[in-house]
Amino acid sequence: MSERSENVTEKLMGSIIDTIAENLPKQKSGKFDPGSVSDKVRNKLFGRQNSMHRVLGGGKSADVLLWRNKKISSSVLALATTIWVFFEWIDYHFLTIVSFALVLGMVVQFVWSNFSSMLSGSPSKVPRVELPDELFVNIAVAIGAQVNKFLSFLQDLSCERNLKHFVVAIAGLWAVAVIGSWCNFLTVIYIGFVCAHTLPVLYEKYEDQVDDFLYSLLGLLRDQYQKLDQGVLSKIPKGNMKAKKSE
């Protein structure tokens, strides 16, 4: 959570990108040119024109994900890590932690209420902990809105008659199912939480390098597909369906 760990992460990310970029073969003339694509789309990933802050929705949530305030972002990530360590490594359970927290609170209030009068000479009012009803309502509304948005997104993909988007969505859900079979639900949530707090800020700092690498990789894949098409796919004889039907 310190600046030292953040610098180590930045150096590691930079070295990985530089190593991969150096091993990529140079594009020849007449083929896919990342520079020409970057001129058209301003070298943004998938033609993105907005900033990462706008892409993430803006506001306080985007500030936390992009580490605009390092103390708040590090505190949120540290809290999530602590919860995950308690449940996964120390093998605590949710009911156990809640019970211990309630016991600790009751002990503090008991000591406060019984010994405050002995120390000060007059009984002091013990503070009461009460969660507002609006907190639970806002949490439920926020969760419901995100679930409905996700369901609407999946239904739009199913009904827009775009086979490419439909296959990508199916592949993504299949990948999530496979990852879920490797680890439990809490670990999956924690991995997604850590990725959300690391990948956007790293991409924002190394945006040009990542975009150049991805466009170069897309160019290599396109060249390999063209070679495969010219060498193998184009030589495969295509049957005449009309002739077969007439026979």
| pTM of the entire predicted model | 0.55
Q: Would you say residue 165 lies in a domain?
A: yes
The per-residue DSSP string of 64-132 comes to: HHTTSSHHHHHHHHHHHHHHHIIIIIS---HHHHHHHHHHHHHHHHHHHHHHHHHHHSSPPPPPPP---
Give the burial string for 44-73 (b: 16+ CB within 10 Å, else e): eeeeeeeebbeebeeeeebebbbbeeeeeb
What is the pLDDT confidence band of residue 34, given thresholds at 50, 70 and 90?
very low
- On the question of pLDDT at 235 being above 80, the answer is no
Phi-psi category of 121—alpha, beta or left, where left has phi over 0 and alpha has psi -120 to 50? left
pLDDT for residue 121 = 61
- On the question of pLDDT at 27 being above 50, the answer is no
Report which residue type is found at 186. Answer: L
pLDDT for residue 243 = 46
Q: Would you say residue 125 lies in a domain?
A: yes
Q: Would you say residue 238 lies in a domain?
A: no
Range of the domain at 136: 3-233
In angstroms, the CA 223 to CA 225 distance is: 5
What's the mean pLDDT in 14-42? 46
Range name among 4-13, 32-41, 47-56, 177-186 with the lowest pLDDT average = 32-41
Which residue intervals of the chain are DSSP H helices?
3-23, 34-41, 52-55, 59-65, 70-84, 94-120, 133-159, 163-182, 185-205, 207-231, 241-246
65-109 pLDDT, tens digit each? 888 888 999 999 999 999 888 888 887 888 888 898 899 989 988
Q: Would you say residue 242 lies in a domain?
A: no
pLDDT for residue 36 = 45
pLDDT for residue 162 = 77
- What φ, ψ does residue 218 adopt, rounded to 5°? -65, -35
What's the mean pLDDT in 174-199? 86
Highest mean pLDDT: which range of 18-22, 203-207, 217-221: 203-207
In angstroms, the CA 100 to CA 231 distance is: 68
Q: Would you say residue 240 lies in a domain?
A: no
Q: Which residues, at least 6 apart from 240, have a Cβ–Cβ distance to it below 8 Å? A: none
Q: Would you say residue 96 lies in a domain?
A: yes
CA-nearest of 64, 69, 66 to 80 is 64
Q: Would you say residue 241 lies in a domain?
A: no
pLDDT for residue 120 = 66
122-181 pLDDT, tens digit each? 666 777 888 888 988 998 998 899 899 889 988 988 888 777 778 878 888 898 888 878
Q: Would you say residue 243 lies in a domain?
A: no
- On the question of pLDDT at 43 being above 80, the answer is no
pLDDT for residue 65 = 86
% of the chain beyond a pLDDT of 90: 6
Three-state SS for 29? Answer: coil
Q: In the chain, how many domains are there?
A: 1
% of the chain beyond a pLDDT of 70: 70
Range name among 36-50, 111-125, 188-202, 203-217 with the lowest pLDDT average = 36-50
- How many residues make up the chain in this entry? 247
